[in-house]
Amino acid sequence: MLTSITEILNLLKKYGKVEKIHKDTYVVEISPGKVRELCEILHWKLNGHFSVTVGSDERPVNGYFGVYHVFLLDKQKLSVIVHVKVNPVTLKIPSITPIIPGANWHEREAHDFFGIFFEEHPNLERLILPYDWPEGIHPLRKDVNVRELRYKLLKKETGLVVEKKAEEEYIVPIGPYHPALHEPEYFELYVEGEKIVDARYKGFHVHRGIEKVAEERLTINQVPFIAERICGICGYTHNVAYCQAVENAARIDVPLRAKYIRSILLEIERVHSHLLWFGVLFHLLGFDTGFMMTWLVREKIMDLAEILTGNRKNYGMNLVGGVRRDINEEKIKLSLETLDYVEYKLRKILDKMLKLKEITSRTKEIGLLSREEARKLSVVGPVARASGISTDVRRYHPYAAYSELEFKVPVYDAGDVYSRALVRYDEIFESISMLKQLLKNIPKGDLTAENVKVPEYRKGLGLTEAPRGENVHLVITGRENKVYRWRPRAPSYNNVPSTLVMLKGEKLADAPAIIASIDPCFSCTDHVVVIDVRTNVKQVLRLKEIARGK
């Protein structure tokens, strides 16, 4: 078993050219023939985990398409990016989904957006592009221009993709609007009586095309604001991840005070997000008192965020190189008081709520995800931690001010909905403790780095632990103060496929709580809409999907 960093680097060197792009992050450029072998070693033998696949059109720079498989080796605190150059004519490379099922969506996305074929992929169908999207147009390619594309699509030069036939069982459609989460998604549950025998998911209804917008139109310092709007709950974590990716690429040193402020806001965001989740869970289980009471406490955190940043949700605090606003003594005092109150209240109510029989009987041993399945799908965050996997970007790939803090990473083994609740419960109090450490020890200093210059065509990886898990942004910097390629991968992207495993064999009535237990955030997963979908396009999709349920 290889363990040390040098051993791993030597191994990588056997496969291809290794380049250190920034601290603890290496790119290894290998030939397509070896990609499977190396990915298998990284994910399974070295016990790392597959994080994201990024496609990229680099024809204007080096004549090739690029595919980057990102792996995080928690134990060694390393990030390894496997880079494969894809021949722009054949466009073929071997798929890694047969060995790492979690790569399924990632490869399909690269297929949709760049037209790269992943050989031996079990199901290389469309994932994101709508059914009536014209064949052969891959929107993230550099030669596709949004304006022209819009014109083309409005003229309806489209050909419908034929749908697969529905199965024999009776189908219960849930969505496109989930009764609890108010976000567009579509689950198909195949049931026999009360029992769910199979489940399917169709998402990406709210793709917003923000990668394209960022690459085509925005400047480096405008992207943080759109990044923040990837998620309606935990946007700041995307904002930080993007800024970190660019800072890493450009080797910008962010002042320590700014790092502290980032960590403070990230933890505030985690507390409010977890409390929101508890509210949703309680509401789904019919326990509205719990919902109201947790959200009442959450409101204090929202007010605090508003006072610190100027907004409840869109903090708008980051620019590449640092933060925009300071936190003064008065605000620190107020924050500490608020945290004391929140901690006191939550200990009083949440403890008791989690002991209620109404809650335990509907969450314990329900929605199971084994450690094995979790590894296969490469799930992240509280979902992974509830299935016995100790993973946390804050601990294993520290960013912002986390290397200065003391905290525990809660891990539970049962892999059920209740464990996911317990992980989040523990994390709320860990976050509060972290916040206190941060607020008490915040050092004096500047808010932004002095020299913010971003050289062109550099790669940077930005990692954060979002409330829902590991959040990854890969940035390739471009010319004229722009990003050449930006791929944000939200945690739900890796977690949503696991709901299909959790649902199988469960009762229909438990489905909402199971789906909610991963704290899904569909808009983040749909981090892009490729184009403003016109009404008729939507109708096609809905009618067909709903017709299946007849």
Site residues (vs other proteins, CB under 8 A)? 218, 221-222, 225-226, 229, 289-290, 292-293, 296, 303, 306-307, 310-311, 314, 316, 324-325, 348-349, 351-353, 355-356
How far is the C-alpha of 174 from the C-alpha of 165, rounded, in Å?
18
Smallest gap, in angstroms, from Cβ of residue 279 to other proteins? 14
Smallest gap, in angstroms, from Cβ of residue 278 to other proteins? 13
Using DSSP's 3-state secondary structure scheme, residue 197 falls into strand
Calculate the alpha carbon distances from 97 to 40, 242, 250, 257, 507 in Å. 10, 27, 32, 42, 30
How far is the C-alpha of 69 from the C-alpha of 456, rounded, in Å?
22
Distance from chain centroid for Cα 186? 19
β partners of residue 174? 187
Whether residue 53 contacts residue 69, with contact meaning beta carbons closer than 8 Å, is answered with: yes
How far is the C-alpha of 476 from the C-alpha of 251, rounded, in Å?
13
Smallest gap, in angstroms, from Cβ of residue 241 to other proteins? 18
Q: How many residues does the chain have?
A: 550
Whether residue 478 contacts residue 256, with contact meaning beta carbons closer than 8 Å, is answered with: no
- What is the DSSP-derived secondary structure letter of residue 184? B
Smallest gap, in angstroms, from Cβ of residue 150 to other proteins? 16
- By beta-carbon proximity to other proteins, the closer residue of 380 and 524 is 524
Using DSSP's 3-state secondary structure scheme, residue 331 falls into helix
Smallest gap, in angstroms, from Cβ of residue 314 to other proteins? 7
Smallest gap, in angstroms, from Cβ of residue 208 to other proteins? 13
Smallest gap, in angstroms, from Cβ of residue 307 to other proteins? 5
- How many alpha carbons lie under 13 Å from residue 326 in its C-beta half-sphere? 12
Under 8 Å CB-to-CB from 402, ≥6 apart: which residues?
A: 263, 394, 395
- By beta-carbon proximity to other proteins, the closer residue of 102 and 321 is 321
H/E element, 212 = helix 210-216
Tokens representing 346?
Answer: 């939550």
- By beta-carbon proximity to other proteins, the closer residue of 77 and 229 is 229
- By beta-carbon proximity to other proteins, the closer residue of 158 and 221 is 221
- By beta-carbon proximity to other proteins, the closer residue of 295 and 522 is 295
- By beta-carbon proximity to other proteins, the closer residue of 195 and 352 is 352
Please state at what angle helix 329-353 crosses helix 417-441, rounded to 10 degrees.
Answer: 160
Paired sense of beta strands 483-489 and 322-323, if any: unpaired
- By beta-carbon proximity to other proteins, the closer residue of 225 and 457 is 225
- By beta-carbon proximity to other proteins, the closer residue of 292 and 543 is 292
- By beta-carbon proximity to other proteins, the closer residue of 328 and 403 is 328
- By beta-carbon proximity to other proteins, the closer residue of 228 and 526 is 228
- By beta-carbon proximity to other proteins, the closer residue of 222 and 433 is 222
Whether residue 278 contacts residue 297, with contact meaning beta carbons closer than 8 Å, is answered with: no
Smallest gap, in angstroms, from Cβ of residue 355 to other proteins? 5
Smallest gap, in angstroms, from Cβ of residue 225 to other proteins? 4
- By beta-carbon proximity to other proteins, the closer residue of 353 and 377 is 353
Smallest gap, in angstroms, from Cβ of residue 325 to other proteins? 8
Smallest gap, in angstroms, from Cβ of residue 104 to other proteins? 34
H/E element, 250 = helix 235-250
Q: Which residue has the tokens 């147009």?
A: 137
Whether residue 215 contacts residue 482, with contact meaning beta carbons closer than 8 Å, is answered with: yes
Smallest gap, in angstroms, from Cβ of residue 79 to other proteins? 29
Whether residue 319 contacts residue 325, with contact meaning beta carbons closer than 8 Å, is answered with: no
Burial of residue 446, with CB atoms counted within 10 A of its CB: 0-12 exposed, 13-18 middle, 19 or more buried: middle
Of the candidates 358, 380, 313, 375, the one whose C-alpha atom is nearest the C-alpha of residue 513 is: 358
Of the candidates 127, 131, 133, 130, the one whose C-alpha atom is nearest the C-alpha of residue 105 is: 127
How far is the C-alpha of 453 from the C-alpha of 450, rounded, in Å?
9
- By beta-carbon proximity to other proteins, the closer residue of 353 and 490 is 353
Whether residue 363 contacts residue 506, with contact meaning beta carbons closer than 8 Å, is answered with: no
Smallest gap, in angstroms, from Cβ of residue 448 to other proteins? 12
